[in-house]
């Protein structure tokens, strides 16, 4: 991984980051049009110079599996102690940590995961995606 400078605050950040951890600004990478070679921002669907359709990459929001908040919320309600909602969201380390915490918190962790399930089910899709899906946090809770 290489370091790049955030275009908003100037701090050095990982080139793999989607958001600046210092100021929260989204990291916009430049890509080039395959037809005319014009430099365009990564989230553009068409080249502004020639109109060519821009190929979608994994880092630019291309096709990736959408995580459903209802599924994650039900997992948290019913199987939250086992961290199933975290495994579903792709946060494996959080899932493993959830299992460990459920063993050592004397029943407190399952209650917290039940509350998290209720919160997941009641928040908006945008808030859910920001909090649990589109985050670099390895252990998002509440």
pLDDT tens for the chain, residues 1 to 142: 678 888 888 888 887 788 888 888 888 777 788 888 888 877 778 888 898 888 765 444 444 557 889 999 999 999 999 999 999 999 999 999 999 999 999 889 999 999 999 999 999 988 898 888 888 788 887 6
Residue 110 domain flag: yes
DSSP 32-91: E-TTT--EEETT-SB-TTT-PBPPP-GGGT-S-PPPPHHHHHHHHHHHGGGTHHHHHTT-
In a domain, 60, yes or no: no
Does residue 89 fall inside a structural domain?
A: yes
The verdict on residue 29 lying in a domain is: no
46 Cβ contact partners less than 8 Å away, ≥ 6 residues apart: 52, 53, 54
Domain count, the chain: 1
Q: Residue 55: inside a domain, yes or no?
A: no
pLDDT for 102 equals 92
What pLDDT is recorded for position 21?
Answer: 86
Would you call 27 helix, strand, or coil by DSSP? coil
The answer to whether the pTM exceeds 0.95 is no
**The pLDDT of residue 57:** 56
Q: Is residue 50 part of a domain?
A: no
Please give the pLDDT value at position 61: 45
Residue 23 CB coordination number (10 Å) = 13
Say how far apart CA 73 and CA 71 lie, in whole Å: 5
Residue 94: per-residue pLDDT: 92
Residue 32 near residue 44 (C-beta atoms within 8 A): no
- How far lies 116's CA from each of 16, 74, 82, 126, in Å? 29, 10, 13, 16
The boundaries of the domain holding residue 78 are 69-133
What local confidence, expressed as pLDDT, does residue 28 receive?
A: 74
């Amino acid at each position: 991984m290489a370091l790049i400078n955030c275009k908003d605050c100037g701090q050095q950040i990982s080139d793999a980051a989607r958001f600046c951890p210092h100021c929260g600004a989204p990291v916009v990478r430049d890509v080039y049009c395959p037809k005319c070679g014009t430099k365009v921002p990564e989230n553009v669907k068409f080249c502004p110079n020639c109109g060519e359709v821009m190929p979608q990459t994994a880092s630019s929001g291309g096709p990736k599996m959408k995580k459903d908040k209802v599924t994650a919320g039900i997992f948290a309600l019913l199987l939250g102690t086992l961290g199933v909602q975290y495994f579903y969201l792709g946060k494996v380390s959080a899932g493993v940590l959830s299992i460990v915490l459920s063993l050592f918190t004397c029943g407190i962790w399952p209650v917290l995961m039940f509350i998290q399930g209720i919160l997941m089910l009641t928040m908006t899709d945008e808030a859910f995606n920001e909090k649990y899906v589109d985050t670099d946090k390895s252990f998002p809770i509440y």
